[in-house]
Chain A
Amino acid sequence: MAGSPLAEQPSSLRAWLLSPEPNSRWQARLGRFYLGWRAFTRNPLAVVGLGIVVLLILMAIFADVIAPYSPVAGGDLRTERLLPPSETFWLGTDDQGRDIFSRIVHGSRITLLVIVLVALIATPIGLLVGTVSGYLGGWVDTVLMRTTDIFLAFPRLILALAFVAALGPGIENAIIAIAITSWPPYARIARAETLMVRNSDFIAAVRLQGASTPRIIMGHVVPLCVSSLIVRVTLDMAGIILTAAGLGFLGLGAQPPQPEWGAMVATGRNYLIDQWWVAAMPGIAIFVVSLGFNLLGDGLRDVLDPKAAK
């Protein structure tokens, strides 16, 4: 049913997408998506942000193809150490004679891994805590929100530092630590959204049909909280990247010889004055990627959550 109109010309594809009487749920959803996409692309900065993020993902997937040298194997220490940017080494080499460009390209994998895992761990926790807290109310709400407040009371990096100190340094522990410190704002947002819908008629209708509390929360409350959470998580990505890089800079994140950007800046610190590129280049990579996520997050907020946009 939905297949045949797709084969027609693009102009009628648009008509099909914008059809006020969609023939299927699928068509309606695609139409919504198309409208959102049109609103999103009207904001050039958001498109730039999306471009940066797509580039990061492509770089991570094709790191082996893009990077001209190995990210971990050192070069000739007599002739290839701490070379300035040139045609052979685009961004110069570090103290082990490794090509900085190749290390940055491979480092995108670590950055992406951190973002994806933190989002996958922290978002469901926040969503669950927030919706349960908001829907049930009463003492459950009080206990859960007090706990959330306590986690919010610690500055994020400090709490992550303390966790990594206890767990031991390493990229996995850094990810766990950042995830533990990331969920409280999500729980707050999910709770606020839940409070708005919990007394609405459709929830009452579902309840009268005999749906159980878990079913109402999972099937009817959670989907309504997702869009504002996506915006918040995207806006948080930059913060997550910066926290991970900060942990790496302090030597608590990814361990050598892994090409983590923050740790690379820390190495470059020793050669700052004479070989500035060792510290400067990975820092620029961190900056560009978190800028990309900030721009993308702003754009998404305007599309998905028009109330919050100012």
Chain B
Amino acid sequence: MNGGGGHGSALRSFLKQLAQFVVILATTLLGLVAVTFFIGRVVPIDPVIAIVGDRAPAHVYERVRTELGLDRPLIEQFVIYVKKAATGDFGNSVLTTNPVMTDIANVFPATLELATLGTLIGVIIGVPLGVLAAVKRGTLIDQFVRVLGLVGYSVPIFWLGLMGLLLFYAKLGWVAGPGRIDVTYSYLYTPVTGIVLLDTAMQGQWDAFWDAVSHVILPACLLGYFSLAYISRMTRSFMLNELAQEYVIAARVKGLSEARVIWRHALRNAAVPLITVIALSYANLLEGSVLTETVFAWPGLGQYITNSLQNADMNAVLGGTLVIGTVFVLLNLVSDLLYRLLDPRTR
């Protein structure tokens, strides 16, 4: 930027911040593990009964108790738990008998696919809407964005999903129903990335691809709407902030076109805090996916957690919770890092 020396010190301060982040990350992750440990081992009155049932004979009860390590002191149990969690070992799922981590690795791409598409929709529509609302403040479009946001904050996602299915699948027949791809197509491609849209497209199975598109479009639009409601509201408020700055007046006085002032000058500056918002909304979609996946029978992490819940499969529930918590923390940290990297004022 301004000579080699300045660049070096900027890099150094960046590395220092990076080290701070690593410390914060480590303690937060340890805290996450502690919370799941607490939920799994301390909150249930007796985790053994949760597994074997209350009519199990005494020797079975004792064996499971020893296997779980419950005969040891709580601190020791926690240390063992942390060590295992650090290597990604959350035990086996009672339901599938696979290690929980393997299960999660299998279902996670489906959730990722949905959340990514949702965020894309949210950004592509939400940002321009927010900018328009800020520029045309107080007009009809501003009111429209406000209502869109209010409805997004108030409507239950699972209900909106059901109504969407009712209208677009059952009544109009525009989209495919629940599930990820039709059974007829499900053996036409080999899962490589676990993301159906990518897999089918790379293998040239276009029929399967379009079927997958018609399955994904409704849940993706649903998540996209919630992301859009949040992103447009935040974009509007950031843009209002920027448009009130003096450099905008300066740009206008210089005779730049209004479009250039708004999209090149103001939006660029609003984009920095927006990155945080987009990362947050991405993380929120991972959460929203729990209910959405249940409604659309989407075989992702959300459905895995709820299925495990209904079968009292605590290992799977806590593993899934921990994974989502970790992704949440990582996304937050990455957005924070990006923010500091992009905004020179924070250096």
Interface residues of A (CB under 8 A from B): 146-147, 149-151, 153-159, 161-167, 238-239, 242, 245-246, 249-252, 262, 265, 268-269, 272-273, 276, 279-280, 283, 286-287, 290-291, 294-295, 310
Contacts and interface: CB of A to CB of B under 8 A. Distances in A.
Interface stretch (B101-109, B322-330, B336-344): B322-330
A297 B32 CA distance: 31
Given A155-B328, A272-B165, A287-B159, A246 B291 contact: yes
26 contacts: A146-B27, A153-B31, A154-B321, A154-B325, A157-B290, A157-B291, A158-B287, A158-B325, A161-B321, A162-B36, A163-B43, A164-B309, A165-B312, A165-B314, A165-B317, A166-B40, A167-B44, A238-B153, A246-B158, A249-B294, A250-B290, A251-B310, A265-B162, A273-B170, A286-B156, A310-B240
Is chain B's interface secondary structure helix, strand, loop, or mixed overall? helix
Interface centre among B154, B156, B324 (most CB of A within 10 A): B156
A252 B290 CA distance: 13
Given A283-B159, A286-B159, A153 B332 contact: yes
Nearest to A269: B162
Contacts of B157: 242, 246
A166 B157 CA distance: 25
Contacts of B237: 310
Contacts of B32: 150, 153-154
B155 interface: yes
B267 interface: no
Nearest to A176: B43
Interface centre among A157, A280, A294 (most CB of B within 10 A): A157
B132 to A, nearest CB: 17
B228 to A, nearest CB: 17
Contacts of B28: 146, 149-150, 153
Contacts of A153: 28, 31-32, 325, 328-329, 332
B321 A283 contact: no
B21 to A, nearest CB: 13
Interface of B: 27-28, 31-32, 34-36, 39-40, 43-44, 150-151, 153-160, 162-163, 165-166, 170, 237, 240, 283-284, 286-287, 290-291, 294-295, 305-306, 309-310, 312, 314, 317-318, 320-321, 324-325, 328-329, 332
Contact of A252 (B163, B284, B309): B309
Contact of A250 (B284, B294, B320): B294
A150 B290 contact: no
Contact of B39 (A163, A268, A276, A283): A163
B192 to A, nearest CB: 29
A291 B165 contact: no
A262 B35 contact: no
B153 A294 contact: yes
Contacts of A154: 32, 35, 321, 324-325, 328
B287 A157 contact: yes
A158 B290 contact: yes
A162 B44 CA distance: 11
Contacts of B295: 269
Nearest to B41: A166
A154 B39 CA distance: 13
Contacts of A157: 287, 290-291
A163 B284 CA distance: 19
A166 B35 contact: no
B170 A272 contact: yes
A287 B153 CA distance: 9
